[in-house]
Structure 1
Amino acid sequence: MRLNDDRTSLRHFAWFMLIAFLVLAAGIGLRDPWPPDEPRFALIARQMLESGQWLFPHRGMELYSDKPPMLMWTEAAWMWLTGEWRGAFLLTSLVSGLGTLALTWHLGRRLWDARTGLVAATIVLMSMPFIEVIRHAQIDPLNLFWITLANTGILLHCLRGPNWRMYWLGCFAAGLGVITKGVGVIALLMLLPYVACRARAWPGVTLTRGDGWRWAAGALAFFVAIALWLGPMLATAYGMRTPEYLAYVNDILFRQTAERYADSWQHEEAPWFFLGVILRGWLPTWLLIPVLLPRWRDAWRLREPRVWIPLAWCLLVLVFFSIPRGKREIYIVPMLPMLAMAMAPYVLDLLKTRWLQRVAFWITVACGVVFAAAGTWALVAAPKVARRFAEGYELDGHGQALWVSVMAVGACFFVAAAGFRPRRGVAALLCGMALGWTLWPLATYPLLNQNQSARAVMAAADEAIGPGGELGLVAWREENLLQARRPVAEFGFSRKAADQLAAARAWQAADPARRYIFLNDDALDSCVVADKVRPLGVANRVRFVLLPADASRPACTPQPVAVRS
């Protein structure tokens, strides 16, 4: 009987993973990297493959020290395996997302049972922040996977142990999280509620005696993972001892980690910022929390560590990221799998209630009405906001195809509601979300890609300079260099635009007949001859232009001005 149950649970899990794959992989190959982060990481990964320099990421000619190179390594590996970068840049996020779901299922199965694990994984998949993160090629999906792996290893040891190998694996994964984004260390906060539960003699907590060296080996595993990159990087940087590489070490080890946490200089928000993020964006997940509060209270009274250790960890993570001034919505996404782990045992019981099914059904209908009405209004009435949006993304007309796509998402919810009816409202909501999330990228990526990726602008520049022309980039963005159709000259990324333009003019003067300057038109100065500037188009609401040699006045001392072509 147990063997049949195991086969059934594995079959259910396999179907779930197939659905998750279809939802998360939808649109891969239909678009190029989109700003702000995707073109940067794809560009760095491609440069790694071309240069063979793996320890020190470069953005163009400059060292890139904002983030460790783990994501860029994986993207470069996918590019090498597939032979191209257009679809490969999203594969790390896809695999990380599927891996996170598999770990959530496995942890729920080990702590509770297979059905609970499947519910926990479903809660994660149905959460909007998870879909949004996995759909983009940023560092956060890989970081989410490492933190979930670390949490899984630590919890299986602390609640189903002793299992020292899983504990060491968890600590090692936390170290990999550190060399991915720097915040992988938050996984180790899981040990704090474990220690508290153990001190209060909660049942179900792993007890060990005389194993101090095994606990300490977890710290060793953590630092060994970090040393895989840090050791060779430091040895090489201090061996070269150039100002550029020493500045890289200082920036990535201190300014981008401890200093950024203690004295944030970007994304300043109020201490309660993440509460608003959860209420506004963690739909429909947070809607279950008020219903679950009495059950979590009962779990506290029963001293249930399988609920309260993951839940306490979520609270610690929330506090950790609320302390610094700099905050972004994406920071707390690693909480999702552990929050789902605390919710899943009770959601199983809620699924049997009639009221939850009916509420979920009417939420499904409401989603259909909202999307269908918004799309119809934008399509038929063509309000100013719809026209402005279409103009910003250079869509034909007032973006009719985009608004039809919005209406189609609404239709997905209506179809799901009609198919499952109120009696199976939760299934209707899940089906509508899955259909909508699958349809949206398939319909919209081809519409938005030319503008979002700067592909059209770079194609226009390549055509404008002719077969023998050379292009120099000024005040450029990563997508410009990534999408360039031929080798280009660039004069630094972090330098002031005026300094880049001065260097570009000197470069152009050496061969004025063949060399052209490509730049953001905000960087135009008073030495530009306005009627000689050639407009190239708009990408991501930024206008780009081309300067032939006669578009700059000779012997002119420039002053920055706002010149529009």
Structure 2
Amino acid sequence: MTSAPASKRSALLLLGLFLLACLAFAPGIGQPTGVTTKDEYFLGLRTPMCIVEHGDWLVPCLDGHARLNKPPLLYWLTAVSYRAFGVSLLSARGVAVAFGALFVLATALIAWELTGDRRRSLLAGLVLMSIASIAIGSRMLLLDIPTAAFSALAFYAILRWLRTGSHWLLPPIAVLLAAGFLIKGPIVLVLSGAGILALLFTSAGARQRLRESWPAVTLTFCGFLALALPWFVYVHTMLPGTSDHTLSTELRARDFLQFSLQPLAGLLVLGLPWSFLALLLAARSDWRARMPHLGFLLLWLIITVAPFFLIKTFGRYLYASLIPLSIIAAHLLDQPMPRLGRLTAWLGLLLAGAVAGLVVFAAGWFRGVDFAIALGGLTWALFVYVWWRADNAIAMAASSALLWAVVMGLVYPRLGLNAIPPQIVQMTRNSPVVMYDGPQPALLPAVLGRMLWQTDSRWRLPPALEGHCGSFLVVAAAQKVDSMRSSMAAHGLSASPVAQYRTLTSRVSWVHMGRTGLSRSEVLAALARHDLDALAPRIDVFRAGYQRCTTAPGVKHGG
């Protein structure tokens, strides 16, 4: 390990990298038609709204229940942003953008600490910024990138401590690990622990420092526990049944000891367009002289991924593995492309370029070519040209970062996923709204600036509506209307339709958009007519009320 950045110029360069990442990740985050997933619109955006509206900060809530599935720190930070800037997509996703930029910065700092090479370290941050999954994930309020950012910062502080021996670095390590733990639990220890284990295997100096400083290390670990555990103890004490049920549900969902090769495929997809090229560099013995830390980086990568072969995982759990992958790729700077290097670069180009190209083509085909879509086409062509040549690592990273900024920030929103007609916004603005088993419209709570209640076939209403004579609106996807009516009738409620519209919806992930059960002929017909909305599911809006309070469905008496 070498000296870390200390000069004023170095600090300015790192600040510039952070701001550049914010600039790359921010376009489009305030639009309801931007990239999203169900974890964001159903949980991430609404839970902090519930905190703000109900004022219970210690136990986050959602739809009348304690929300204990994940720790509360990201929800707290988002609630603070809501309080400061108002409830909106911009104030929520701004938190996500900041954490994405922080992850980029932490990667550059780790590279700088390892190599002492300013240019390669900044390039490592730029490589991470240019990876498709980071450029997409940093636009959504999800738990994974903030957890990876805190893990990376903690590991950077550990590297500094191992080099300098300064005990002043130990309290920040405890704080950073505790912060990650309070976002997503024990996985933060897996992410940062992988780097520590790799160091202990490959560095005699790290092992020596640990042996000499075990009392300070023990005290730091105790500090971490003192910061991380009180919230868990509190909720277990106050809500023992709920917390035990939540814990058992989360453990069952992980499918421990069920072997799967999914993490390997996940890593290859997650690291596009760099994954194949970086893994080729890591596998070449002739690059060890050019990369003194290659053995450590490769082992760190392996240990980061290894636990997930035995745990059910999603690809985004592997974000921390992109740190060593980005640092390895950054060693292409001022180096000739190795044999087979262009082939692996072309493979990354083929897969990543196909995704971006499909978004640009679909937006232009269905919505017509405008400035944003034309710009998307130009950045896509630039990306293809630079990666086909594959002879300049800086240009490759910059073209990829620019591609995702334009395509995901400007072009993708033009597809109109989760679009809400103005008349629906106006209709629901001042009325109580219940979303049935969806929830749809997915981004309506963020557009209205308040948490809308979501229920399912068990039919629970908010206390303000339960048993009260007064009408309210219910919104449901068309395929769930029969189930909704049956559930409402069982609870003495009736509903009459007042509006309907069609919109493409993000179901589970941002790439699933059409209605269920689409046939091949329907898709081809929509393509021929340039009519994307023909593939969209229908959303129905109803005026509802208790039958005992109405003379006809939807007629309000009192309240």
1:144 matches 2:107: no
Alpha carbons of 1:170 and 1:277: their partners in 2 closer, same or farther (altered >3 Å)?
same
AA in 1 matched with 2:418: Q
Is the 2:18–2:101 contact (alpha carbons within 8 Å) kept by the matching residues of 1? Answer: yes
Deviation at 1:71, TM superposition (A): 0.9
Question: How many corresponding residue pairs?
Answer: 502
- Aligned pair partner of 1:261 in 251, 254, 265: 254
- Report the counterpart of residue 340 of structure 1 in structure 2: 326
Distance 1:481 1:224 in 2: 39
Is the 1:471–1:517 contact (alpha carbons within 8 Å) kept by the matching residues of 2? Answer: yes
SS at match of 1:27: coil
- Report the counterpart of residue 290 of structure 1 in structure 2: 280
Deviation at 1:216, TM superposition (A): 1.0
- Aligned pair partner of 1:312 in 281, 299, 317: 299
Distance 2:189 2:368 in 1: 47
Deviation at 1:291, TM superposition (A): 2.9
- Report the counterpart of residue 105 of structure 1 in structure 2: 108
- Report the counterpart of residue 24 of structure 2 in structure 1: 23
- Aligned pair partner of 1:432 in 386, 396, 399: 399
CA distances 1:434-485 after superposition (whole Å, capped 9, x unpaired): 3322222442365356x4265768427538xxx7x65444435284772585
- Report the counterpart of residue 247 of structure 1 in structure 2: 241
- Report the counterpart of residue 388 of structure 1 in structure 2: none
Distance 1:348 1:370 in 2: 26
Alpha carbons of 1:252 and 1:163: their partners in 2 closer, same or farther (altered >3 Å)?
farther
- Report the counterpart of residue 559 of structure 1 in structure 2: none
Distance 2:345 2:254 in 1: 43
Q: Which has the higher contact order (CA 8 A, sep 6+)?
A: 2
- Aligned pair partner of 1:330 in 312, 316, 329: 316
- TM-score w.r.t. length of structure 2: 0.74
Distance 1:424 1:8 in 2: 28
AA in 2 matched with 1:399: R
1:42 matches 2:42: no
1:497 matches 2:460: no
SS at match of 1:317: helix
Tell me the percent identity.
16
- Report the counterpart of residue 530 of structure 2 in structure 1: none
Distance 2:115 2:347 in 1: 29
CA distances 1:48-97 after superposition (whole Å, capped 9, x unpaired): 12221011111122222221111111111112222342301112211112
Deviation at 1:161, TM superposition (A): 3.6
Alpha carbons of 1:310 and 1:368: their partners in 2 closer, same or farther (altered >3 Å)?
closer
Distance 1:489 1:368 in 2: 37
Alpha carbons of 1:452 and 1:531: their partners in 2 closer, same or farther (altered >3 Å)?
closer
- Aligned pair partner of 1:87 in 86, 90, 101: 90
Deviation at 1:130, TM superposition (A): 1.6
- Aligned pair partner of 1:452 in 418, 423, 426: 418
Alpha carbons of 1:448 and 1:456: their partners in 2 closer, same or farther (altered >3 Å)?
farther
AA in 2 matched with 1:185: L
Deviation at 1:433, TM superposition (A): 1.9
Alpha carbons of 1:7 and 1:219: their partners in 2 closer, same or farther (altered >3 Å)?
closer
Distance 2:545 2:378 in 1: 55
CA distances 1:92-116 after superposition (whole Å, capped 9, x unpaired): 2111122122222222222221223
Deviation at 1:550, TM superposition (A): 9.5
Distance 2:135 2:446 in 1: 26
More helix by share: 1
SS at match of 2:183: coil
Is the 1:314–1:338 contact (alpha carbons within 8 Å) kept by the matching residues of 2? Answer: yes
Distance 1:488 1:418 in 2: 46
Alpha carbons of 1:216 and 1:323: their partners in 2 closer, same or farther (altered >3 Å)?
same
Deviation at 1:430, TM superposition (A): 2.9
- Aligned pair partner of 2:182 in 172, 179, 182: 179
1:400 matches 2:368: yes
1:477 matches 2:439: yes
Alpha carbons of 1:284 and 1:46: their partners in 2 closer, same or farther (altered >3 Å)?
same
Deviation at 1:151, TM superposition (A): 1.6
Which stretch has the larger CA shift, 306-315 or 108-117? 306-315
1:157 matches 2:114: no
Alpha carbons of 1:534 and 1:152: their partners in 2 closer, same or farther (altered >3 Å)?
same
- Report the counterpart of residue 545 of structure 1 in structure 2: 540
Deviation at 1:545, TM superposition (A): 2.3
Alpha carbons of 1:106 and 1:520: their partners in 2 closer, same or farther (altered >3 Å)?
same
- In angstroms, what is the RMSD of aligned CA positions? 4.5
